[in-house]
Amino acid sequence: MTLAHDVAGDGPSTVLLLHSGVCDRRMWDAQFEALAAAGHRVVRCDLRGFGDSPVDRPHVHADDVAALLDRLGVERAAVVGSSFGGEVALEFAARHPGRASSLVLLCAAAPGQEASPELRAFFGRENALLEADDLPGAVDLNVDFWLGPDAGAEARDLVRRMQARAFELQLAAPEEFEPRSADVTDADLASIGVPVLAVTGAHDVADFRAVATRLAGLLPDVRHVELDWAGHLPALERPEETTRLIGDFLSRP
């Protein structure tokens, strides 16, 4: 199965947008058309288990991404990943050398990062709600936890719908179809030699600032930007400002 995806623009460079774990490709509505209008060919996809991409087999997300780009005839792309999508972006760059031209990591997770007590407590509350079949409660928990203070009602409603869809797909999937580990080590990450923009939010969980610090110590070309207004999903909290940040990095000399 090819991942559900959209393509806009016909510029010479390709930008691939990878969504967070509480979202799907709809989170990029503001950036998708704007980056295409700026002269890029833009691809956004639903990873398996999100949006319109069902969980129909065992899989490695990073390899699914590579297969999608192969199908589209894209040899190399700048990859923009939000949260979990940032982790997939790193795994893609490590497992498929030469396929990523640069990385923009928005409050990214990373392979091998140990969760803090705060994050473990969140997942404990989420699991308890799911085990009690309180799907609306689990959705609301995610909306409240992940969106920062600048997120408006429209963004909150969109995340609510995207997270509900992800739960629907993932809870219905057989255990044997769960995603497989990409088996990416620190040494693999250190081999990523492309320019990286690591963005963090002042209102986000501290885990993701720790990821940016870790990456700065591993990768040879990392620029870290802390947004004093952002929570965990800046692309939805201040879409225009985040689009400018991404576009400025992609258009650098």
Rounded-to-integer distance, Cα 12 and Cα 61, Å: 26
pLDDT at 211 over 90: yes
**What tens digit of pLDDT does each residue of 189-209 get?**
999 999 999 999 999 999 999
With 0-12 / 13-18 / 19 or more C-beta atoms within 10 angstroms meaning exposed / middle / buried, residue 38 is: middle
* Mean pLDDT, range 61-83, rounded to an integer: 97
Q: How confident is the model at residue 252 (pLDDT cuts 50, 70, 90)?
A: confident
- What is the Cα–Cα distance from 174 to 141, expressed in whole angstroms? 25
Give residue 243's pLDDT. 98
Percent of the chain with pLDDT over 90: 93
Mean pLDDT calculated for residue range 12-27: 97
**pTM greater than the 0.75 cutoff:** yes
CA quadruple 28, 29, 32, 35: dihedral sign: negative
Pairing mode, strands 40-45 and 5-8: antiparallel
What is the Cα–Cα distance from 242 to 171, expressed in whole angstroms? 32
What pLDDT is recorded for position 253?
A: 75
H or E element that contains 211: helix 206-218
| Residue 81 pLDDT exceeds 90 | yes
Contacts of 69 (CB under 8 A, 6+ apart): 14, 16, 43, 75, 77, 99
pLDDT at 109 over 90: yes
What share of the chain in percent tops pLDDT 70?
100
Mean pLDDT value of segment 222-251: 97
